[in-house]
Structure 1
Amino acid sequence: MDVVGGPAADDEGPAAVEVVPLTEPADGIPPVVDTAEALAEVVEAFGNGTGPVAVDAERASGYRYGQRTYLVQLRREGAGTALIDPVALPDLSALSEALVGVEWVLHAASQDLPGLAEQGLRASRVFDTELAARLLGMERVGLAAVVAETLGLGLAKEHSAVDWSTRPLPLEWLRYAALDVELLVPVREILAERLAAAGKAEWAAQEFEAERTAAPPAPRVEPWRRVSGLHAVRDARRLAVVRELWETRDANARQRDISPGRVLPDHAIVAAAQALPRTVPQLVALPQFAGKGTRRRATLWQSAIDRALALPERELPSVRGPRSDAPPPPRAWADRDPDAAARLAAARAVVATTSQAWNVPAENLLQPDLLRRLCWSPPVPADLEAVRAALVAGGARPWQVDLMAPLLTPTIGVRAS
């Protein structure tokens, strides 16, 4: 299906530029703010600054339990850069109040905003440089890649996955943290110009606001089913072992404030579910349980396995997964509803064509889950107004509805041949 109004799909992007390494913050590495007195000075300075404020946050998700923020970085014209320790200063609402009405520039804002909100930091407006890069069709959207493409500067990322709960934080890590907000505002200016030139400024504004106002995600139903390698576990009893080990691991990790994967790796959970050991010696004989820390808690893990083995049949988890209102996997559509499969194929083709025409990733044009729901349970009658209403109800932004509803409406009438 032809798409009217999109830019040419073969438009050339910005010319390649020589990348110059950026090794030091312009103002040096500021001291970590970890006292009420120092925070008060930061609040005053940033409240008196001008223009947008660059914001970033560092977590220790690979080391600690949960997604807690362990360092907050900010930079604003007239205020410089601040590195704030939210462990020592858990309430940063005064800083948030000083920045009311100010645009916050973040990279991958959806990752940082929930943790910042836990510290009392809530943005009035947001500009997400990663999301902007996606809407512009940039091939690589990591911060270092976007900085290189827009400014020709090289931003090292070797400390991105370190344990930010470490205290005191090493100087090299602080240098990295300061550099992370050094260039966000200049990058924002370039991306904003490109968005406007591409006719996507309003798209971006709606996406940024959706990120800013997004509700916390609902708790996952049966989160243990996300264990890596679970597809190899095929019967209900073994699934019960996975569930019991996952829940025991999660409770232990939460108590010790350690990332669950460091307490017991997923591959060990799957191995135990497949082997069904009946004793501790049988458990520790498994290669996946040979580690010192794993062996030390072998009794804990075997107890979890024993509980799963003792469950009555009626309490075993379903091999089909949790009950959900989501459509079945698309691979099953051809057998269960051939017309729905035909609708999905036609709709996906439209999205792919539109994605190419506008140089926007397909998942940013419309959430894949929403597209599947539309095709599995189409509105009746399937006219333009009803399709628009279905997209709105599914959380699509106005720009997505305006662009995609007219294109998708004809696909709802497609039937299997």
Structure 2
Amino acid sequence: MAIAARPHTPITRPSREPAPALWVVARRFGAVSEVWMRRQVNAMSALDPRVVCWERHPGESEPVRCPVHVLGGSGRDDPGAARWLDRLGGLPTRNFAGAPRAEREALLNLARRERPDAMLVHFGHVALRVLPVAQTLGVPLVVHFHGLDLSQSLRNRWYRWSLWANLRRFDAAVCVGSHQRRLLLEHGMPADRVHLIPCGVPTSEFLPTPREPGDGPVRFITVGRLVEWKGPHRTIEAFANAVERGMDATLDLVGDGPMLEELREITRRLRVAQRVVFHRDQPPRAVREMLRASDVFLLHSLNAQGASEGFGVAIAEAAASALPVIATRCGGIEDQVIHGRTGLLVDQHDTRAMSDAMLALARDPDLRRALGDAGRARTVEHFDATNQVRALEGVLLNAVAARRGVA
């Protein structure tokens, strides 16, 4: 059953009171695959954000409206004996993923100068890294989980042990899928501190441009990293099967990753290389234009290598563009796509079922339009970025008020 994000009511503050200072902490900032982070920061109005990160992505294509402090380094565990000493130091709290001593001191010094009222930390491993800093200063920390940090990353025993042991030390946890919420509750996080708030998309920026039936081949598009758990190989296999059965169509793949050359070879082997275009990474504006020029969105996400889909931002962008979605039953996708109403869902690895769905939509422009219109309406109502940011600000303001003892 699809589950929409629950509403949150932010605490109001007197108009003369300055907005609380917020640290938005992430390992990297500005990556094309994490455009939702910039959207969150730029949409905030009840808080005064500033970004703290270890790396700023050089390909950042759109401006951010707040200061960005780059710490340098990788924000990852250092190999060797020093890391074992840091882990030993984390034994009292069972947080074996905390920042190394020198990095912790640098963060403490920066925080004492900037005096944040709260920290919003993206991804569980980064939250564990800065948790000792937040606790030392008495600053509330809200962890924002996304996907791999509640799936694939749990295969690392040090991260897993640290997360479950320290979960209740976070002032609140934000997750993007109902399956993640269930997992957090199973591991002891109080229900009133777990908030289901998908990242959302700015729906006003993704305006549909209907194509007339018969206006050339049907244009399919998929957007995502070219990694196994995003299933681009299965998408190409399903597409090739539909073409073999008479479908006149093209496929645009937007994204980059380690499977690129393997996927090119698959298109040649299946004789669809002339119909498939690899666009690699594209800036957000280009992605919007490509979605507007397409007919159907595809995503064959898989529970592979321990990974599971959190919230499909690309799916939400496609739905906001009034594209019908064909996707797999995987993680948070089932919260987004209502089978038969806003798109079509198939089982993982079932390329024949995906091929059947492609053929059905390729042959029926009225069905494409009906599913696409319903998908956009649902996205505007439940997954608009502005509403999601207001809900997120409410969680953060409540965390600040609770630490200050405000009723």
Length-normalised TM-score, structure 1:
0.25
Length-normalised TM-score, structure 2:
0.26
Q: Pick the structure with more strand per residue.
A: 2
Look at both structures and tell me which one has the larger radius of gyration over its CA atoms. Answer: 1
Q: Pick the structure with more helix per residue.
A: 1
Q: Which protein, 1 or 2, shows the higher relative CO under an 8 Å CA cutoff with sep ≥ 6?
A: 2
